[in-house]
Structure 1
Amino acid sequence: MNIVSLALKRVSGAFGVVAMIFLAFLMFGTTADVITRAVTGEPISGVFEMSELSLVMVVFLGAMWAQEDRAHIRVNMLSTRLSGLPHRVAMAFAWGCGALALFMFAWPATQEAIYSVSIWEFRWGYIQVPIWWAKVGLALGLWLAALQMALHAVLAALRDEPEDTTTGPET
């Protein structure tokens, strides 16, 4: 189990770095595009199209990274009041449901990615932009996030973790 956890941690870290590169493109590319539009009246070709794809990559490659730190939005009114076996069961059930939902999204995303690669899909905007690679990244991110969430479900069933009870920003 530790080997799988370590492997997923390394993959999530790598995916997180890639997601941050796409986020940097969103920040700097959009800023440069706005400045260029203000000065010349014309956009930078391809920035809008790449921004769309970058948003997808930030969300789906960053999902594992967020899960690693339990940074997804969650409601813990019930789980903070539980301890011991009831807490473990509730957490395992919750993480298991999340994993199941991600697996259900990953399957059709994979089918779409396979089709997209088979036709080398692209989209037209100001320029022709290949999008097959983003669909592959989306499917891969979903599968690995689902696997990581399933692992967290198993770990939650095996050992009790203290619940984060912070309700707001730290002061």
Structure 2
Amino acid sequence: MRTDTERLGADPHGSAPTEVPDPASTPGGTVLDRLETVTETVARFAAYLGGVGIACLVLATVTDVARRAAGMTSINGLVDLTEVALVFVVYFGFAQAEVDKTHIRTSFLTERLPDRVRRVVLAAVWALAFAFLLWAVVRTGQSAADSFHAGESRASQSGVPVWPARVMVSLGLLGLALQSLMNVIAAVRGRRSGGDR
């Protein structure tokens, strides 16, 4: 059986006891803390890609308008490409919007509940949201695979493929599903990042 000094990490021969560090207080934190950091980093990177996509769409649109103003023809397929790329821009921002809590939400009910009840309600609601989003990821992923194998494209001369947009929808929903899962964990742990602020 270990003595008190051994549990504290002390040398049994007389040196001063040193307290064993708590895993949560170490630089890496717990596994859940590291998972939260990873998901937020991925969400931030996806949002940055969406921002770059917006910049590219604006640049392409301005270029097309300038060409037409100069009496030149419009860029072939730009409208179709813009419509497909817009999906990428929108869905890649979903996860970061949830990290920043910028989605529309109302907390007038949960903020009036006792803390323990509030945590249970939030965990249950976010668990349902996670399950629904996971189902949506599977269905949109299947749709993207079918679109890829069928060679689906816009019904125009440009023939812009549609399957990349369907893949982006699935990936964007996956990012939002992961953030919903992190909200479940946060609610269980009693942290106020569980979707109620």
Q: Work out whether residues 96 and 153 of structure 1, in 8 Å CA contact, stay in contact via their aligned partners in 2.
A: yes
What is the aligned partner in structure 1 of residue 52 from structure 2?
Answer: 21
The normalised TM-score by structure 1 is 0.82
* In structure 2, C-alpha distance between the alignment counterparts of 1:107 and 1:24, rounded to whole Å: 30
Query: Alignment partner for residue 135 of structure 2, among 96, 104, 126?
Result: 104
* In structure 2, C-alpha distance between the alignment counterparts of 1:120 and 1:3, rounded to whole Å: 40
Query: Alignment partner for residue 132 of structure 1, among 159, 163, 180?
Result: 163
* In structure 1, C-alpha distance between the alignment counterparts of 2:54 and 2:157, rounded to whole Å: 21
Higher helix residue share:
1
Larger radius of gyration: 2
Q: Work out whether residues 186 and 192 of structure 2, in 8 Å CA contact, stay in contact via their aligned partners in 1.
A: no
The normalised TM-score by structure 2 is 0.72
Which stretch of the first structure deviates more once superposed, 53-62 or 118-127?
Answer: 118-127
Instruction: Name which structure has the greater RCO, CA cutoff 8 Å, separation 6+.
Output: 1
Q: Does 1:8 align with 2:39?
A: yes
Q: 1:39 Cα deviation (Å)?
A: 4.1
Partner of 1:128, secondary structure, is: coil
Pair 2,30 (structure 1): closer, same or farther in 2 beyond 3 Å: same
Q: Work out whether residues 87 and 160 of structure 1, in 8 Å CA contact, stay in contact via their aligned partners in 2.
A: no
Identity %: 28
What is the aligned partner in structure 2 of residue 46 from structure 1?
Answer: 77
* In structure 2, C-alpha distance between the alignment counterparts of 1:142 and 1:56, rounded to whole Å: 12
Tell me, which stretches of 5 or more residues in structure 1 are unaligned?
165-171
How many residue pairs align between the two structures?
164
- Give matches, 1:79-98, under 5 Å: 79-98=110-129
Q: 1:22 Cα deviation (Å)?
A: 1.4
- Runs of 4+, deviation exceeding 4 Å: none
Q: Work out whether residues 19 and 62 of structure 1, in 8 Å CA contact, stay in contact via their aligned partners in 2.
A: yes
